[in-house]
Structure 1
Amino acid sequence: MSENSKKGRGRRVNLASAGGGKSPVQYPAESLDLDAAITSFIRYCRIRNLTQDTLNFYRDTLLELTRQLQKQNVERPIDIVKDTIMVALETKRSTPIKRGKAETPADATMDKLTRSWRAFFNWMHSESFVEINPFVGLGKAKSERSIIETFSNAQMKSLLNAPNRSTFTGLRDYTIMLTLLDTGIRISELEGISLHHVNWSDRTVKVYGKGRKERLVPISRALEKALRNYTEVRGVLDCDSLFVNIDNNTFKVRGIQQAIKLYGQDARIKGVRVSPHTFRHTFAKMYIMNGGDAFSLQKILGHTSLDIVRMYVNLFGTDISEKHDRHSPLENL
């Protein structure tokens, strides 16, 4: 085989035209129209039975890709090369977010965009809608690792004292915060708990995590007692959700987030974000500091890998303040 023949064996676009190259190449819509390509990709994700949250994630992040490409006057996927993506990421990174005082996007935001765009172009290339995958050779950006914010014991007690437990909503919110602290579950998982997911005899709660993966999370005797008290006040309803709003419908994520934020203001919590996810970090911290191991923590939190759990262990595996007090050069002079 001649050298020229070998060179001619490049990756072809997945649409044949009659006449073997005598006629102009007829590209599929996905090669020429970014909106068409995104629509096909979302359809592919839906056929794979990905969750609605994942579909929304791809829609939002690919919409940002469209915005960035418009700034470069690039409309056709077949015209996108590595430099196009690098300029898009660089532009996004340097664009201030309009949220109070100007700030640049967080590393986590940039990581989400990169993961989504990479998955999109991997699919585009595998389907032969583009001949060159612009992400080949484009490594993962290095991100800063910031200290994980958690509640102190004093802050936690102040938060738990904030709700008025003589009212239904106050008792419900108090029980929600106890549940978040005792289990470390995600806010979306808490919203999805139904009454029949609580196994009183085994003291476990069934939750549905990311990717529709269900797991059993243990609960303490103290939380069992609080949940029994709450469910008795909650009463028998048509709605099967464990936590309900004042209209006896499912208490949604947004409402839970807002309630916890307001309790943080009432308790005058400073220096830490008062959110459901901070409860998750606080649970992990206290679990490790109280002698829990990484493998059981991984199962409780529902992480697919040990990477994040190792981070908790590295940060909270020993009581650094206590050790510093014992071994401080100044204290031992």
Structure 2
Amino acid sequence: MSTERKRRVNLAAAGRNSSATELPPESTDFEAARAAFLRYCRIRNLSDKTLDYYRDTLKELERQLTTLEIERPMDITREHLMDALETKRSEKIKRGRAATPADATMNKLIRGWRAFFNWIHTEGFIDTNPFKGIGTIKSERRIIETFSNTQIKTLLDAPNRSTFTGYRDYVLMMTLLDTGVRVSELAGLRLQDVDWRDRTLKVYGKGRKERLVPFSRTLEKHLREYTEMRGVIDTDHIFVNIDNEPFQVRGIQQAIQLYGQAARIKGVRVSPHTFRHTFAKMYIMNGGDSFSLQKILGHTSLEIVRMYVNLFGTDVAKQHAKFSPLERL
């Protein structure tokens, strides 16, 4: 007796025999479809971080589908996905998460799931794409927190610069403020990435994209002093811990958080990313243009940069009043 199916798989051989056993495993087994998709991502040479992102989002998708008692990718409907998204968002809000952070997390899931379903549909493992028409969640933009000048000075005064780790942390925070690099990019910096003549750092950002980030004469002075203090060791990572091993992202985050507590900084999250926001704010306030800021920060589009400009529009207006070509005629 043949197995009855509600939809056919978009494969030429699918209609020749109605037996589900002859269908490709990617159509009938979620684990097989996930493994094939991740293999495709590896072939595309996507970064390990991107692969981990897809693994995590698809793990959550499998959990939601198991709750709905759905096992075969070919049986997933748009309604199933809408139910899964609604359930997940409710779970996060019930755990005490604010709506806006919950929406941000949901959008990460949506982008991951969309990429997966787009691929298995393009490959012909499912007849229709159940994710078609499902967009990201529109959420309110939160005010970006940045450090004040006083807070920055207090933070930079917090490390004990008479010690190696204290001076390292001082230079580390200066680098974050002067360049706006991400904490992962900072942790990955190596000695050969510094061009002392042109005063640039070769940074490896998201999606394995390489860019050059300029730094100031002030940072050059302290960075040279730090590298001399660091000395010649086995690793070529610039920032190292007391054991002469690369200073990892988590360690950097914890160190900066502790300095924030010691400096009694209130009303703003003390983190490497706040340094990045502060750099962007001060760059715009001091007359920097959005296109160069985009290149420095490593954003693929101007959307985030426009957000900085809009948020600090009052300060930009002051700059315009000061440097307006018409006013200077």
State TM-score, norm by structure 1: 0.89
Deviation at 1:12, TM superposition (A): 4.4
| Cα distance in 1 for residues equivalent to 2:98 and 2:295 | 36
Q: 1:54 aligns with which of 50, 55, 66?
A: 50
Is residue 2:209 matched to residue 1:213? Answer: yes
Letter of the aligned partner of 1:44 in structure 2? Y
Q: 1:76 aligns with which of 56, 69, 72?
A: 72
Is residue 2:121 matched to residue 1:125? Answer: yes
Corresponding residue for residue 262 of structure 2: 266
Give the secondary-structure state (helix, strand or coil) at the position aligned to 2:266. Answer: coil
Corresponding residue for residue 173 of structure 1: 169
For residues 284-312 of structure 1, the C-alpha deviation after alignment (integer angstroms, 9 at most, x for no partner) is: 00000010000110110011111100111
| Cα distance in 1 for residues equivalent to 2:309 and 2:197 | 31
Structure 1 pair 102–307 and aligned structure 2 pair: CA distance change class (3 A): closer
Give the secondary-structure state (helix, strand or coil) at the position aligned to 1:175. Answer: helix
| Cα distance in 2 for residues equivalent to 1:224 and 1:22 | 70
Letter of the aligned partner of 1:24 in structure 2? S
Corresponding residue for residue 3 of structure 1: none
Give the secondary-structure state (helix, strand or coil) at the position aligned to 2:259. Answer: helix
Corresponding residue for residue 114 of structure 1: 110
**Aligned residue runs from structure 1 range 1-333, under 5 A:** 12-14=9-11, 16=13, 21=16, 23-25=18-20, 26-96=22-92, 101=96, 103=98, 106-319=102-315
Letter of the aligned partner of 2:110 in structure 1? T
| Cα distance in 2 for residues equivalent to 1:38 and 1:204 | 41
Give the secondary-structure state (helix, strand or coil) at the position aligned to 2:212. Answer: strand
| Cα distance in 1 for residues equivalent to 2:63 and 2:132 | 22
| Cα distance in 2 for residues equivalent to 1:43 and 1:230 | 42
Deviation at 1:32, TM superposition (A): 1.2
| Cα distance in 2 for residues equivalent to 1:252 and 1:21 | 56
| Cα distance in 1 for residues equivalent to 2:214 and 2:158 | 26
Q: Is the 8 A contact 2:10 2:127 kept in 1?
A: yes
For residues 163-195 of structure 1, the C-alpha deviation after alignment (integer angstroms, 9 at most, x for no partner) is: 111110010011000000000001111111111
Q: Is the 8 A contact 1:15 1:28 kept in 2?
A: no
Structure 1 pair 155–24 and aligned structure 2 pair: CA distance change class (3 A): same
Q: Is the 8 A contact 1:41 1:120 kept in 2?
A: yes
Deviation at 1:34, TM superposition (A): 1.0
Q: Is the 8 A contact 2:93 2:102 kept in 1?
A: no
State TM-score, norm by structure 2: 0.90
| Cα distance in 2 for residues equivalent to 1:253 and 1:140 | 29
Corresponding residue for residue 331 of structure 1: none
Letter of the aligned partner of 2:86 in structure 1? E
Percentage of pairs with the same residue: 69
My pick for the range that moved more, 105-114 or 123-132, is 105-114
| Cα distance in 2 for residues equivalent to 1:313 and 1:232 | 39
The alignment yields a C-alpha RMSD, in angstroms, of: 2.0
Structure 1 pair 110–261 and aligned structure 2 pair: CA distance change class (3 A): same
Higher helix share: 2
| Cα distance in 2 for residues equivalent to 1:67 and 1:256 | 33
Deviation at 1:78, TM superposition (A): 0.9
Q: Is the 8 A contact 1:288 1:317 kept in 2?
A: no
Deviation at 1:14, TM superposition (A): 2.6
Deviation at 1:36, TM superposition (A): 1.3
